[in-house]
Amino acid sequence: MFSATFDPLGNIWLSAAVAAVPIILFLLSLTVLKMKGIHAALLTLAVTLVLSFFPFALPTNVALAAVVQGIVQGMWPIGYIIIMAVWLYKLTVDSGKFEVIKGSLAMVSPDQRIQLLLIAFCFGAFLEGAAGFGVPIAICGVMLAALGFNPLQAAMLCLIANAASGAFGAIGIPVAIIDTFHLEGVTAMDVSKATNTTLPFIAASTPFLLVWILDGFKGIKETLPALVVTSGVFTVCQMAVTYFIGPELADILPPLLSLIALAALSTQWQPKTVFRIKPEDQEETTRHSFGKILSAWAPFYILSAFVIVWSLPVFKALFKPDAIFSFTNLSWVLATQGDKKIGIDIGLINSTGTAILMAVIATILISGKSLGVAQALADLKKTAKELWLSIATISFILAIAKLTTYTGMTQALGEAVSVTGGVFPLLSPVLGWIGVFMTGSVVNNNTLFAPVQSIVAHHLHIDPALLVQANTAGGTMAKLVSPQSIAIATAAVGKSGQESTLLKMTLKYSVGLLLFVCIWTFILTLML
């Protein structure tokens, strides 16, 4: 904090009310005023900048430095990771590999319950980890519809499946972004480990929930081996990755391994009764050789390999001060106040985005004539054009978060909210749910509310990582019904205009999962 006090009005409730203005304004701009995200972020940034001068008396140079720091961090590493991830996905489509991937999934079983697990749960989680930002909902919804699922039902199932993976979308950015806030006593790795207290229950139960929605308890009974394998492999692997490696691969390795495990099981076992929504609708599946399938999946296991290397402590050590590659880390000091400073740090090589770039280059090289350099560069241009608005919005929201942190606004909110005492952990996930419902992004939600959760946790003598992960988990449950997700899902399956119908179909599952997260978080704070 760079302001003289977090209570400039001499009354914590009045100061907190002023500090809440940026959050309330942003949410109202999106909902009541129906503004685009970028416009809502710009308006909120302008108002937050004014409030940082009065009443919080933040020095002008510090305020401007905070804005610059937030914008730059939104572009690097976050924007860099997003663009690289979506670029890699587009390359698999244009090289023809994605069609083979889609066909390989359909080859595993004619039973649509198994196809649902493979596509909506396993492959959807993988796409969430590789690209995020609505890609798994759109792609998997289309795939299920093409395989004979009712379009709106396909969209709903993909939204619900996302509950298991939404916390770690786009190479773990929702959790990894925690490190950019420099919160007291909590890092992205702490939050990654803390997610093991809650999210494994969601991950383990989601496959069962999907099959139950499609075919009731009869479906669960008939596909129990597949459910146990899929749920078990995914959950155990995700727990191991988030605890020992971090958030980056939490939606890369687990879905890949669970997909492989389910495919292997299906070679030896199939449900006694083949379930089809329309029994007569048996689509002919294109058969692909093992070599062709292996080649089609190459971009993604290459990606996994590079991200694993980039996550290793021995690799990270190469970029520490005075280490061999420390010269690739760029830094600038933007403002100082006593022994405190605001700066920009850019790691050119050790960024996760560079690991994805290496996977992109390898994909281009192994694709041969099916994907030339010119096409790859055209895809990069198209990706940047499509995503610049989202990245700009994230950058401005980060700038808002920096201002609210350096002025003490976040601390004022935390001081006021902490008076709810032991009840707050019960409501903590609701704050995250509201954040994602309004912004459509777990990244934006954590940017807005993770600092508040951390400060309240310190006041209540609770591990701040526990409440930040509750904010993340609660927000993930809102991805099922956020206007952005609903719009993407209906558009993908050709049902634009039926957003309210899809929302009604999905809302009860979102609220039910949120209720579990709230109660369990409260229990955890009593136990730990």
CA pseudo-torsion sign 369, 373, 379, 380: positive
Is residue 131 within 8 A of residue 145, CB to CB? The reply is no
Burial of 18 from C-beta contacts in 10 A (0-12 / 13-18 / 19+): middle
Is residue 77 within 8 A of residue 85, CB to CB? The reply is no
d(CA 409, CA 59): 15
pLDDT of residue 252: 87
pTM: 0.75
pLDDT of residue 327: 93
The label of the residue with tokens 């002025």 reads: 407
Give the bridge partners for 346, in sequence order.
Answer: 330
Average pLDDT (433-441) is 73
The most confident of the ranges 178-192, 234-248, 433-447 is 234-248
Portion of the chain with pLDDT greater than 70, in percent: 96
pLDDT digits (tens, 9 = 90+) for 66-104: 999 989 988 888 788 778 877 887 898 888 887 887 778
The model's confidence at residue 203, banded by pLDDT at 50, 70 and 90, is: very high
Burial of 471 from C-beta contacts in 10 A (0-12 / 13-18 / 19+): buried
DSSP letter, residue 335: E
With a CB cutoff of 8 Å and minimum separation 6, the contacts of 185 are: 454, 458, 464
pLDDT digits (tens, 9 = 90+) for 27-48: 788 768 878 778 888 999 999 9
pLDDT of residue 145: 81
pLDDT of residue 224: 96
- 17-26, 114-123, 275-284, 290-299: segment of lowest average pLDDT: 275-284
Question: Residue 495's Cα: distance from chain center in Å?
Answer: 25
CA distances from 394 to 120, 152, 447 (A): 27, 30, 9
- The amino acid that residue 207 corresponds to is P
pLDDT of residue 438: 61
Closest by CA to 514, choosing from 440, 437, 410, 407, is 437
The model's confidence at residue 131, banded by pLDDT at 50, 70 and 90, is: low
d(CA 446, CA 471): 7
d(CA 116, CA 4): 56
Statement: residue 218 has pLDDT above 90: yes
Is residue 446 within 8 A of residue 467, CB to CB? The reply is no
pLDDT digits (tens, 9 = 90+) for 312-335: 779 889 999 889 999 999 999 999
SS3 call for 497: coil
End-to-end Cα, the chain, rounded Å: 29
Statement: residue 499 has pLDDT above 60: yes
CA distances from 228 to 160, 191, 202, 223, 286 (A): 18, 27, 14, 9, 28
Q: What would the two tokens of residue 399 be?
A: 């700038």
